[in-house]
């Protein structure tokens, strides 16, 4: 089939979209296109990337321009199946559906819950905007061919709207991370690592306080931070404290640089705060730590305990308790053999269960189901439909 993935937000090299889904479909023999923000239109690893952006202006203006650009490019590609990854592209999916195309919505996050914690949105508007987003997602899901979700929790919500819901966990790719060679012995001090977005809700302050407490005692260690701050002002606020805490900030790292950082670490941290959407999430970094063969110090959420404690591959702690986090860090330092065994346990669990190779089978099966479905061309589709005239009222 001719397949086109769409995103107006994620970079063209996004791990889930490009490296996992597009690559898996291409390797299975499909003709795969990706419309995404990029520097140029190019063929990369067999995927034909169609560049859109950059988009300038206020937030709403940029979103409208992005949606129009993605829709225009999508029509040019003229694919059999369109697979979009951003909630703002629901209108694009519906317009393509009217033209008789098969359309899939890939839900990465719980958007209504996410809106409730958006700092740029006034608190007085968040509940209303969240309610509207939930209604729009439900309207779109009822009319599209399939919904792909990143977690079972999201799948449960969308089963109320669609009979074809598939969960594709964002597990690591075995060929990329399972062969990391440890460089821990070359480190002058025990090194911990955190890779991901740096924000208060993702545990920046908790990690900072725990490392400060750890290094004020007899233990000495350092923590590698890799990612970008949100909001950017948070970096300026915590920067003066990093040296005392023993934190090295590297900014955004490439995939190869991430592998190198993991090879140096004695353990990985994933200390998301107890937000409702986080407690039911499947954090990719947790599974990447496991795949790299290092133990994990993770938030003590009931769901996460099944990943960490059942295979005995790490320690779960209260993410609000800096003292408990510091004790977990110290335990890893003082028990190197047990920590290495935890790392091996995690790697075995990934090889057996938590890997993208197994998940990709479900993606291929979904497309085979769609391929076997009689294509229903929309009758009387308006070829000149004005995208700008569409609004929330239409839903």
Give the alpha-carbon dihedral of 233, 234, 238, 242, to 10 degrees. -110
**Quick one: 213 and 311 in the same domain?**
yes
What pLDDT is stored for residue 333 in this prediction? 95
What pLDDT is stored for residue 112 in this prediction? 92
Angle formed by the axes of helices 123-143 and 90-98, nearest 10°: 20
As a whole number of Å, the end-to-end CA separation of the chain is 30
What pLDDT is stored for residue 391 in this prediction? 42
Residue with tokens 């986090």: 325
**Quick one: 254 and 305 in the same domain?**
yes
What pLDDT is stored for residue 218 in this prediction? 66
**Quick one: 136 and 281 in the same domain?**
no
What pLDDT is stored for residue 375 in this prediction? 47
Residues of the chain with pLDDT under 50: 374-385, 387-395
**Quick one: 219 and 293 in the same domain?**
yes
Check whether the bond before 341 is cis (ω within 30° of 0): no
**Quick one: 380 and 287 in the same domain?**
no
> CA 254, CA 265: separation in Å to the nearest integer?
17
What pLDDT is stored for residue 178 in this prediction? 64
**Quick one: 163 and 246 in the same domain?**
no
Q: What is the DSSP letter of 15?
A: I
- What is the span of the domain harbouring residue 295? 174-352
215, 246 Cβ separation under 8 angstroms: yes
Side-chain half-sphere CA neighbours of 55 within 13 A: 19
Longest Cα–Cα distance in the chain: 75
CA distances from 264 to 26, 63, 85, 365 (A): 33, 40, 34, 38
**Quick one: 11 and 51 in the same domain?**
yes
> CA 109, CA 251: separation in Å to the nearest integer?
23
Say if residue 47 is exposed, middle or buried (CB neighbours under 10 Å; 0-12, 13-18, 19+): buried
Pairing of strands 102-107, 81-84: parallel
Q: Output the domain CATH number for residue 284.
A: 3.40.50.2000
> Which helix (H) or strand (E) covers residue 42, if one does?
strand 42-44
Say if residue 350 is exposed, middle or buried (CB neighbours under 10 Å; 0-12, 13-18, 19+): buried
What pLDDT is stored for residue 381 in this prediction? 43
CA distances from 53 to 50, 141, 219, 271, 317 (A): 10, 27, 49, 34, 42
**Quick one: 323 and 370 in the same domain?**
no
**Quick one: 363 and 277 in the same domain?**
no
**Quick one: 117 and 23 in the same domain?**
yes
**Quick one: 332 and 362 in the same domain?**
no
- In this predicted model, what pLDDT tens digit does every residue of 185-210 receive, in sequence order? 888 889 999 999 999 999 999 999 99
**Quick one: 90 and 145 in the same domain?**
yes
> CA 247, CA 211: separation in Å to the nearest integer?
8
Count of domains in the chain? 2
């Amino acid at each position: 089939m001719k397949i086109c993935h769409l995103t107006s937000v994620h970079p063209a090299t996004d791990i889930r979209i490009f490296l996992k889904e597009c690559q898996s479909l291409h390797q299975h023999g499909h003709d795969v296109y990706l419309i995404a923000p990029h520097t140029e239109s190019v063929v990369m690893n067999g995927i034909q990337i169609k560049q859109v952006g950059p988009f300038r202006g206020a937030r709403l203006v940029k979103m409208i321009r992005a949606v129009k650009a993605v829709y225009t490019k999508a029509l040019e590609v003229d694919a059999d199946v369109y697979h979009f990854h951003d909630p703002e592209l629901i209108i694009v999916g519906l317009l393509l559906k009217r033209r008789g195309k098969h359309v899939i919505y890939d839900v990465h996050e719980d958007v209504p819950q996410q809106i409730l914690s958006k700092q740029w949105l006034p608190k007085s508007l968040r509940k209303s905007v969240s309610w509207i987003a939930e209604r729009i997602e439900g309207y779109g899901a009822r009319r599209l061919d399939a919904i792909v979700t990143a977690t079972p929790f999201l799948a449960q919500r969308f089963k109320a709207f669609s009979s074809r819901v598939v969960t594709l966990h964002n597990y690591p790719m075995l060929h990329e991370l399972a062969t990391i060679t440890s460089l821990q012995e070359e480190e002058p001090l025990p090194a911990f690592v955190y890779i991901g977005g740096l924000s208060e809700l993702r545990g920046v302050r908790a990690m900072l306080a725990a490392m400060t407490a750890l290094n004020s005692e007899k233990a000495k260690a350092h923590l590698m931070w890799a990612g970008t701050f949100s909001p950017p002002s948070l970096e300026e606020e915590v920067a003066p404290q990093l040296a005392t805490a023993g934190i090295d900030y590297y900014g955004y790292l490439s995939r190869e640089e991430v592998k190198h950082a993991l090879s140096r670490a004695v353990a990985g941290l994933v200390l998301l705060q107890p937000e409702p959407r986080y407690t039911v999430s499947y954090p990719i970094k947790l599974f990447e730590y496991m795949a790299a063969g290092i133990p994990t110090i993770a938030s003590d959420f009931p769901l996460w305990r099944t990943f960490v404690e059942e295979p005995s591959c790490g320690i779960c702690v209260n993410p609000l308790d800096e003292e408990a986090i510091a004790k977990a860090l110290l335990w890893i330092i003082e028990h190197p053999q047990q920590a290495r065994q935890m790392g091996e346990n995690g790697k075995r669990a990934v090889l057996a269960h938590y890997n993208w190779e197994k998940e990709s089978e479900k993606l291929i099966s979904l497309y085979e189901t769609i391929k076997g479905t009689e294509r229903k061309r929309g009758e009387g589709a308006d070829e000149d439909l004005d995208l700008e005239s569409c609004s929330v009222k239409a839903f």
